[in-house]
């Protein structure tokens, strides 16, 4: 036989590389499935808030706790609800971010589900069936929550609004802290009036997330764990970039602002929250604003609390929630600060209300115990608000 020509050698080498890559891909795919490792692509770009779940997407979340997530027809972790409210239903629209969406646990363990269950015993709702509608998405700030309320939630004719405010909503509301080009922001004009900046809709990053090639890769990920792993690595890098830009160390947002952009984030957040509450009240509805607990403030370990205060340059934990409460109350909302009752419960029972075994101990999001306590407190506050409004 004659020796292979240079062109044939090139083809043989290319075939060998292709075969090697294919075998590696197949073995990696099998290994990931045997190990139960998956990162389903559950979220996509959304023209209202920048991002939402893919309609009817479903899959497991394992990064913190364990939760099986299922999206409804409009991209939220919930069941499908008809736009026209059935007779006898009392609809509660839940607004918030990752604390409200609660990827970390089963749907029935979330405070949302438990609040609705508990409200069945509220005397003011006698003869009406409480129904919860979730409009929360992880990572959303107050500006995005307001746009969802304005452009989506009102179509479902809610009777009550329950917004849960979390500390990182402050940097999320300011474009200087990251996320610019990915989502809507509000900015203040020279007269101090809020103006919507929805230029993200034409940004290269947003348009690329809606491109046919991106949709193809997203569809491919439904069938390949390797593709999921690669895309998850990209998302982790992006999250680290945003968190680094935000500098979301609690200390700078839980005391009187020193840096100008922190002061601007506060000014924007207060104005957006005021606008949101006044819109709800202007429709003749009640709204409860709950300020979530800080994992550092409600850590049952007194030494850990003291060490954090010292490292963050803080003297106490209540600046942020009290300031948010003042804005919400002044605008006409009912308000509950979850830090004090959470701290009392955690210290009395020596238990962590934040954190999971596969993530930070006593840190991160609410665990099942945290959601149970939040539901108890929010249900009482909601029932009280409904009762007062019906008098």
What is the model's pLDDT at position 200?
94
User: Is there a domain that residue 361 lies in?
Assistant: yes
11 shares a domain with 131: no
What is the DSSP code string of 15-33? HHHHHHHHHHHHHHHHHHH
Instruction: Give the C-alpha separation, 56 to 49, whole Å.
Output: 18
Residue 213 covered by a domain:
no
pLDDT in tens, the chain (391 residues): 556 666 677 777 778 777 877 777 676 667 757 766 677 788 999 999 999 999 999 998 888 999 999 999 999 999 999 999 999 999 999 999 999 999 999 999 999 999 999 999 999 999 999 999 999 999 999 999 999 999 999 999 999 999 999 999 999 999 988 777 889 999 999 898 999 999 999 998 888 887 777 777 777 777 777 666 676 777 666 655 555 554 445 578 888 898 999 999 999 999 999 999 999 999 999 999 999 999 999 999 999 999 999 998 888 999 999 999 999 999 999 999 999 999 999 999 999 999 999 988 899 999 999 999 999 999 999 999 999 998 7
Q: Tell me how far apart the 2 most distant CA atoms of the chain are, in Å.
A: 99
- Judge if 179 and 264 occupy the same domain: yes
- 84-97: buried (b, 16+ CB within 10 Å) or exposed (e) per residue? ebeeeebbbbbbbb
Query: Considering the domain boundaries, does residue 163 fall inside one?
Result: yes
What is the average pLDDT score of the chain?
Answer: 90
Same domain, 198 and 265: yes
Determine what percent of the chain falls in helix, strand and coil, rounding each to the nearest 5: 50, 15, 35
Helix axes 225-246, 6-34, angle to 10 degrees: 80
133 forms beta bridges with 93
- 272 in a structural domain: yes
Question: Is 87 a domain residue?
Answer: yes
The total of structural domains in the chain comes to: 2
| CATH code, domain carrying 82 | 3.40.50.1110
pLDDT reported for residue 246: 45
**Pair 21, 75 in one domain:** no
Residue 235 within any structural domain of the chain = no
Residue 377: phi and psi, rounded to 5, are -70, -45
Q: Is residue 216 part of a domain?
A: no
Domain shared by 61 and 176, yes or no:
yes
Is 96 part of any domain?
Answer: yes
C-alpha span between 351 and 347 (Å, rounded): 7
Per residue in 271-283, pLDDT tens?
A: 999 999 999 999 9
Give the separation between CA 290 and CA 299, rounded to whole angstroms: 19
Contacts 24+ apart (CB under 8 A), 78-87: 78/132, 78/133, 78/134, 81/131, 81/133, 81/156, 83/155, 83/156, 83/157, 84/157, 85/156, 85/157
Residues 26 and 56 reside in one and the same domain: no
What is the number of other CB atoms lying within 10 angstroms of the CB of residue 254?
A: 24
**Nearest to residue 196, comparing CAs of 144, 260, 232?**
144
Exposure of 359 in the CB half-sphere (CA atoms within 13 A): 17
pLDDT at 250: 59
Model pLDDT, residue 312: 87
- Residues 251, 288: one domain? yes
At 247 the pLDDT is 46
- Are residue 132 and residue 29 in the same domain, yes or no? no
For 40, 71, 351, the CA distances from 358, given in Å and listed in that order, are: 19, 24, 17
Do 19 and 156 have their domain in common? no
Which candidate, 228, 179, 185, 229, places its Cα nearest to that of 205? 179
Tell me how far apart the alpha carbons of residues 180 and 201 are, in angstroms, rounded to a whole number.
Answer: 11
Structural domain including 152 reads: 48-206+247-389
Judge if 8 and 129 occupy the same domain.
Answer: no
Helix then strand count (H, E) for the chain reads 14, 13
Q: The tokens of 49 are what?
A: 């808030």
Task: Write out the DSSP string of 81-143.
Answer: --SSPPTTEEEEEEE-SHHHH-TTS-GGGSHHHHHHHHHTT-GGGTT-EEEEEE---TT--HH
Q: What is each CA distance from 299 to 78, 139, 308, in whole angstroms?
A: 31, 23, 10
Which has the closest alpha carbon to 147: 171, 173, 166? Answer: 173
CB burial of 270-305 (b: ≥16 within 10 Å; e: otherwise) equals bbbbbbbbebbeeeeebbbbbbbbbbbbbbbeeeeb
Same domain, 176 and 67: yes
Residues 56 and 28 in one domain: no
Residues contacting 61, CB < 8 A, separation 6+:
42, 67, 68, 69, 103, 104
């Amino acid at each position: 036989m004659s020796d292979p020509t240079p062109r044939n050698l090139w083809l043989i080498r290319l075939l060998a590389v292709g075969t090697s890559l294919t075998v590696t891909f197949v073995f990696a795919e099998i290994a990931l499935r045997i190990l139960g490792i998956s990162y389903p692509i559950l979220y996509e770009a959304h023209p209202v808030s920048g991002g939402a779940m893919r309609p009817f997407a479903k899959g497991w979340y394992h990064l913190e706790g364990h939760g099986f997530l299922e999206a409804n027809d409009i991209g939220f972790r919930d069941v499908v609800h008809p736009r026209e409210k059935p007779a006898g239903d009392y609809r509660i629209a839940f607004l918030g971010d990752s604390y409200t969406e609660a990827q970390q646990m089963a749907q029935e363990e979330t405070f949302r589900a438990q609040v609705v269950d508990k409200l069945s015993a509220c005397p003011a709702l006698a003869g009406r069936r409480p129904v919860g509608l979730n409009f929360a998405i992880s990572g959303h700030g107050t500006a995005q929550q307001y746009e969802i309320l304005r452009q989506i939630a009102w179509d479902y004719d809610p009777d009550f609004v329950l917004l849960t405010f979390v500390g990182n909503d402050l940097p999320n509301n300011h474009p200087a802290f990251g996320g610019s080009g990915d989502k809507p922001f509000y900015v203040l004009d020279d007269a101090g009036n809020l103006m919507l900046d929805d230029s993200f809709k034409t940004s290269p990053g947003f348009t690329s997330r809606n491109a046919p090639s991106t949709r193809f890769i997203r569809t491919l990920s439904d069938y390949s764990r390797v593709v999921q792993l690669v895309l998850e690595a990209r998302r982790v890098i992006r999250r680290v970039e945003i968190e680094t830009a935000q500098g979301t160390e609690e200390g700078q947002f839980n005391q009187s602002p020193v840096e100008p952009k922190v002061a601007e984030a506060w000014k924007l957040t207060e104005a957006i929250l005021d606008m949101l509450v006044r819109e709800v009240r202007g429709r003749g509805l009640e709204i409860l604003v709950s300020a979530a607990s800080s994992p550092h403030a409600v850590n049952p370990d007194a030494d850990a609390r003291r060490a954090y205060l010292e490292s963050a340059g803080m003297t106490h934990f209540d600046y942020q929630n009290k300031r948010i409460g003042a804005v919400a109350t002044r605008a006409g909302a009912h308000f509950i600060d979850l830090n004090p009752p959470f701290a009392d419960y955690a210290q009395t029972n020596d238990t962590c209300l934040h954190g999971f075994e596969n993530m930070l101990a006593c840190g991160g999001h609410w665990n099942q115990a945290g959601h149970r306590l939040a539901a108890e407190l929010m249900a009482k506050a909601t029932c009280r608000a409904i009762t007062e409004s019906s008098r």
